[in-house]
């Protein structure tokens, strides 16, 4: 199908969290506010005033997961490979395989220290055709998982390296 390019705007909301917005091909704007607490709000902007929201829908973790399933997260994630943030440089979304020889097969995501070590985020795992969004630090990897990573090119490459090789001596895995 090729690469899908969508302009995603990110805004830090001091004391609140982060807002991500995008304009649809029909000209409408939608967004998600991720609060520091983890709460997410879906925002639909007013078609007559794109700076004002016409509706805000708070989502629990289960509701956010259900919405991802409704939107067919595995299809959407596969199509988002190569997404670029046109404002502040390249933002890469890539699926990284957990190969059978990976040192992290059977180990929790938190052991990778991926975010701390690379700045990239693991936002989902695709396992046997099922999308598992927002895995926590206790999520255990299995051989064959596809890990969806978001970050700079260097950050995504760093996560790929982490999942393929053990940590250097003296560092946690």
The pLDDT tens digits of the residues spanning 94-108 come to 889 999 989 999 999
| Residue 159: pLDDT over 90 | yes
State if pTM tops 0.85. no
Q: Which residue has the tokens 């990110």?
A: 10
pLDDT of residue 90: 64
Burial class (CB in 10 A: 0-12, 13-18, 19+), 21: middle
Q: How many whole angstroms from its chain centre is CA 46?
A: 26
97/48 same-domain check: no
Kindly state whether residues 103 and 147 are assigned to the same domain: yes
Would residue 33 count as lying in a domain? yes
Does 96 lie in the same domain as 55? no
Write the CATH number for 117.
3.30.70.1450
Whether 148 and 104 share a structural domain: yes
Same domain, 159 and 98: yes
How many domains does the chain fold into? 2
Q: Both 102 and 153 in a single domain?
A: yes
Say yes or no: 50 and 107 in one domain: no
Does 131 map to a domain? Answer: yes
Query: Is 170 among the domain residues?
Result: no
Assess if residue 160 is contained within a domain.
yes
Confidence of residue 8 (pLDDT cuts 50, 70, 90): confident
- Joined together, the tokens standing for residue 77 give 């994630």
Secondary structure class of 55 (helix, strand, coil): strand
Spatial neighbors of 7 by CB under 8 A, at least 6 apart, are 22, 23, 85, 86, 87
Same-domain check for residues 37 and 96: no
Q: What is the mean pLDDT of residues 121-146?
A: 89
**Domain carrying residue 41:** 8-59
End-to-end CA distance of the chain: 36
| Angle formed at CA 97 by CA 74 and CA 142, multiple of 5 degrees | 90
């Amino acid at each position: 199908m090729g690469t899908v390019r969508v302009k995603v705007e990110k805004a830090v909301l001091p004391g609140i969290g982060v807002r991500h917005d995008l304009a649809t091909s029909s000209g409408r704007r939608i967004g998600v506010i991720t609060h520091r607490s983890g709460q997410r709000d879906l925002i639909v902007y007013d078609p007559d005033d794109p700076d004002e929201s016409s509706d805000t829908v708070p989502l629990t973790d289960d509701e956010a997961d259900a919405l991802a399933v409704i939107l067919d997260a595995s299809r959407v994630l596969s199509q988002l490979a190569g997404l670029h943030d046109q404002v502040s440089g390249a933002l890469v979304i890539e699926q990284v395989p957990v190969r059978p020889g990976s040192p992290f097969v059977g180990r929790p995501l938190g052991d990778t220290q991926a975010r701390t070590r690379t700045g990239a985020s693991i936002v989902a795992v695709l396992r046997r055709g099922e999308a598992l969004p927002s895995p926590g630090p206790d999520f255990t990897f299995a051989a064959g998982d596809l890990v969806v990573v978001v970050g700079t090119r260097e950050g995504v490459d760093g996560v790929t390296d982490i999942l393929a090789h053990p940590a250097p001596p003296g560092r946690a895995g």
